[in-house]
Structure formats: C-alpha cells, structure tokens
Copies of this chain bind each other. A is one copy, B any other.
Amino acid sequence: MIDFSLTDRETDLQTRTRAFVRDHIIPMEKDPRQGHHGPSDALRRDLNALARRAGLLSPHCSPEFGGLGLTHRERAIVFEEAGYSILGPIAMHCMSPDEGNMHMLEAVASEEHKLRWLKPLAAADIRSCFAMTEPAPGAGSDPSALSTTATLEGDHFVINGRKWLITGADGAGLMIIMAKAIVDGEDRGATILFSDMPAEGIVHERVLDTIDQSMTGGHGVIRFDGLKVPRENVLGDIGRGFRYAQVRLAPARLTHCMRWLGAARRAHDIAVEYANRRVAFGKKLIDHEGVGFQLADNEIDLHLARLATWHCAWVLDQGRDARVESSMSKVAVSEALYRVADRCVQVLGGMGVTGDTLVERIFREIRAFRIYDGPSEVHRWSLARGLVAKGAH
C-alpha cells in the first residue's frame, strides 16, 4: 500500500542520527585537518570513534560486521541525516567508496574474503578504494573500454595498467581492482581482484585537484606496475567483474543521492536562515519574491529528490533490478540538488561564493556529483536505450 510514513525504527534512527550529527559532528566542521584532498586520516579516525561510540558506525553493514543491517529505505533516512554535515558520512563510515565496497563485499564475497577485508573495513580500521575508471582511451563512462590487464602467471595475477579518479586511493588499506583477466593468453573478461595496500606494484602517481574535497584521500591516479596478487584474491568468478560491479553501482549511485540530499538540505537551511535575517532594499530577503521563489523551488526540489530516492530504495528492498530507477534517480536527484545549491549561492550573494558558510562548499561537491557515478548524459543514454522498441505502456 502506498505509504510514506516511517517505521518506528526509521524514526528512531533518524532522530539518533540527526542528534549525533548536530551534537558531535557539526562542531567538528572547522577542524583544520581538512584539505583540498579531503579530511586527513587522523581526523577520519577521530570522527569514526565518535560514530562508534554512538553506535552509528557502518550502519549499512549487517550486525555480524558491526552494523545495523539497514534496509535501503533505512539507509535513505539515515544517510540523509548523515549528509547534513559533510563530515557525517565520513564519521559514520558510510561515504563513497567504502560504503559501496562494503555493500558489494557483503553481497558477493566469500566468507574468507569477508573476514579478511570486510571485517576491518566495516570496523573502519582500514579504508578502501575501487579502481575501475581509467584515463583515456580506457574505461571511463563506457566500461567496455577496459584496458588494465591481470595476467595469470602461476599462482598470481600480474596487473598492469593505469587508473584514474580513484577515490580514496591515498591511504587506503584495500584496493578493489577491475581488470581484464588474461589466462593462458586468452582474455577472460572483466574481473575483480583484491590487493592489500600499500603494495609494491601500486604506484600512486598523484592526487587530482578536484572541485570537490569531501572524500578522504581525494581522487588519485594509480599505475599498476606489475602488481602481483594471489590467484585467490579474485572476487567470485573470473570474467564476472561487471556483473559484480552492477551489484555495487545501482545502490552506490543511490546512496550518493541520499547523502547529498542531506547536504543540499543543509545549504537550503542556511539560505533560509540568511534570507530571514538579511535586509536589502528595505525589507528582508525572504520578503523579496525574487528570493522567496528560489527558496520555494528549493523546497520542491528537495521534496521530489527525497521521493525519488525513497522509491528507488524501495525497489532495491524488493530485491528487484533497479537499474532504470537508479538511473532516473541519479539524473533527477543530482540535477535537482545542484539547482538547490546553486540557488543557495545566489540567495547569499557575495557571501555565497565565500567559504564563510558551507554553501559554497556544498555547491562544489554537488557539481562533482553530477559527474560521479555516471554523468547525467550517460544515464539519459541508458534510459533512452530502454525505450527502443517500447510500445505504449
């Protein structure tokens, strides 16, 4: 039955997370251990400790791995609240790429792999990265152009290639690598392999300067220089890498929507508060329709972004394929939240382009969100493909 009410558990989680963020995380927002490549690992560990104490660390993981076993809808509630502070998802260890990596590991990995990598990851003892995207002419928006190879030599795969925009690579303890497996000289298809980090053979060329700065470790450029990983470090079966990545991608795309929804709500709250205070041309900004209408549109955009996110989370909770819904949500939510952030900048005027409020920062983060996990154009393309030969419905 169509229903938008929260369960008692959801209400409780929402209340707890909101209080945690308000009381423990927002006060940390000016901590100087943040730079252009994200919070330092020292800061990250301090934040994780706070979340651990509050029982909110890695809440998406099953209780077996110390989490709360959140459904996708519960994640929607909790991650939005976490995202209200840009440090919230870092603290609760439900930020990209770790959250998506844990999700995939829990869904696909063997018990042995879980013990070895999911356990410390869920406990925030280590961070992880997901090495799929490659510089041109390799796999960008179009993963089929994958050029990194993992060649089986005896008991080991030897990996060569370059990866780019690898979030969190700097400082990670685990790298999840997408590569073409070459076995007996034959291309066996995209395959996922694990490597501990740091590792000989993983050359961290540099951290990219990006418009966003909220992810620990930033976004790195990596070179595999004959990296050796044991044969048993393959996730699941050889050649099924893209299939496993799909397990990760749709939900990971959606958890981005959840977290940035919280961030956009934060920007909006700042703008509303400002507009109720600042006077120009004889009255409060909020009393200028030119401002008030923008804030009204923010309310609408936030509302619809939340509904789209909840809907897709519900589809995922049904165990159904959510590729279409997650593509629709990614486009709709990222574009809507970006409009929200852009209007907040505009409402704040000169203040809006400075670091004196979080609005400027949130604006930059959400600009990047329109690109990460597939630019809107790629999702539109994919949705359009789905309409080929589709009759009336």
A: which residues have CB within 8 A of B?
A: 1-7, 10, 73, 76, 133, 136-137, 140-142, 144-145, 164-165, 208-212, 219, 265, 269, 272-273, 275-281, 284, 286-293, 295-297, 299-300, 303-304, 307-308, 310-311, 313-315, 328, 331-332, 345-346, 349-350, 352-356, 360, 363-364, 367-368, 370-372, 375-377, 379-381, 383-385, 387-393
Contacts and interface: CB of A to CB of B under 8 A. Distances in A.
Given A3-B2, A145-B280, A387-B292, A368 B353 contact: yes
A376 B346 contact: yes
B388 A371 contact: no
B286 A387 contact: yes
Contact of A291 (B286, B377, B379): B377
Contacts of A290: 289-290, 293, 377, 380-381
B314 A3 contact: yes
Contact of A380 (B278, B293, B352, B375): B293
A2 B5 contact: yes
Contact of A2 (B310, B349, B375, B391): B310
A13 to B, nearest CB: 13
A377 B145 contact: no
B299 A328 contact: yes
* Contact residues of A: prevailing secondary structure: helix
A211 B345 CA distance: 11
A371 B352 contact: yes
A293 B384 contact: yes
Contacts of A288: 289, 377, 381
Contact of A287 (B7, B352, B388): B388
B140 A289 contact: no
Contact of A286 (B4, B144, B388): B388
Contacts of A284: 388
A271 to B, nearest CB: 10
A276 B4 contact: no
**What are the 7 tightest A-B residue pairs by CB atom distance, in nearest-first order?**
A292-B384, A209-B355, A296-B383, A289-B289, A269-B392, A289-B290, A307-B307
Contacts of A377: 288, 290-291, 293, 346
Contact of A384 (B280, B281, B286, B315): B286
B384 A296 contact: yes
Contacts of A368: 353
A300 B383 contact: yes
A342 to B, nearest CB: 8
Q: Of A145, A292, A350, which is in contact with the most chain B CB atoms at under 10 Å from its CB?
A: A350
23 contacts: A2-B10, A2-B314, A137-B278, A137-B279, A145-B279, A208-B356, A209-B360, A210-B354, A211-B353, A211-B363, A219-B354, A272-B391, A273-B391, A276-B389, A286-B388, A291-B384, A292-B381, A292-B387, A293-B380, A299-B328, A307-B311, A349-B375, A353-B367
A157 B278 CA distance: 30
A346 B375 contact: yes
A280 B164 contact: no
A1 B293 CA distance: 32
Contacts of A142: 280-281
A133 B346 CA distance: 17
Given A210-B355, A304-B307, A346-B377, 12 more contacts: A4-B311, A164-B350, A208-B356, A210-B354, A265-B393, A272-B392, A276-B389, A296-B379, A296-B384, A299-B383, A345-B367, A352-B371
